Homo-oligomer: A and B are copies of this chain.
Amino acid sequence: MNILLASTSTLFGGKYLEYLKDELIDLYTGIDEILFIPFARPSGISHEDYTAIAKSFFAAININVKGLNEFDDKINAVNNAKAYFTGGGNTFLLVKTLHEENLMQVLKENIKNGKPYLGCSAGANIGGLNMKTTNDMPIVYPPSFDCLALIPFNINPHYLDPNPDLKHNGESRETRIIEFLTQNDITVIGLREGNWIRRKGNEIKVEGAVQTRIFKKGTAPYEIEVGTHLK
């Protein structure tokens, strides 16, 4: 496999995908066209407008982008594509659409056979075993929470440390993940913004700018450094 799962598409104050540019040139070596999966629709943006944003970034590194929404036969489009990119937005909407269009399994098979995959935020979330550690609001009801399982873990993108100054009693991210572990025995990668997971073949590493927080059932959460192998 050759995949990159990023916490976010855009760093605070940065431009879309800019901080990942060198990594994406490496990920998509030899590829001149990728298939964009726009179903997560951040802020409700249309599939067409969302694809145009991706197209604009990738033009600068000489890669053409087609939106999966442009194809009548979407299963065929996934099978014929050379590489993929799933953008962020609402994970429930993304997962519902992929299941309803029977695309989850076919996408998974193509990626497991070696086609490059980039996922940001919701698009990274679906690289995990299931979507049960998303931060998103359940605005639609998907037929299943199962995802691509490109890594044997779950991801919590945009991982955020508790803010001791916040005078608010909503649960912290850590509390939510600990609640997840009372119901599931799956390792969760708390992926802070600026970090990503890079899988090449069987090697899985965390890369980026800061430490990554790991949550396992029966163990206190702990931090790992950039470059650490995940097992």
Contact = CB atoms under 8 A, between A and B. Distances in A.
Interface of A: 8-13, 41-44, 89-90, 92-93, 131-141, 144-145, 158, 160, 167-171, 175-184, 193
Interface centre among A41, A160, A182 (most CB of B within 10 A): A182
A209 to B, nearest CB: 13
A206 B93 CA distance: 31
28 contacts: A8-B169, A11-B169, A12-B167, A12-B168, A13-B167, A41-B182, A44-B178, A44-B182, A89-B179, A90-B179, A93-B179, A132-B137, A132-B138, A132-B139, A132-B140, A132-B141, A133-B139, A134-B137, A135-B170, A136-B171, A137-B176, A137-B180, A139-B176, A139-B180, A139-B182, A139-B184, A158-B169, A158-B170
A10 B169 CA distance: 7
Contacts of A135: 137, 170-171
Chain B CB count within 10 A is highest, among A43, A138, A145, for: A138
Chain A binding site: helix, strand, loop or mixed by DSSP? loop
Contacts of A131: 138
Contacts of A10: 169
Contacts of A41: 179, 182
A42 B175 CA distance: 9
The 6 A-B pairs of least Cβ separation, nearest first, read A44-B182, A158-B170, A137-B176, A12-B167, A139-B180, A139-B183
Contacts of A167: 12-13
A43 B139 contact: no
A69 to B, nearest CB: 16
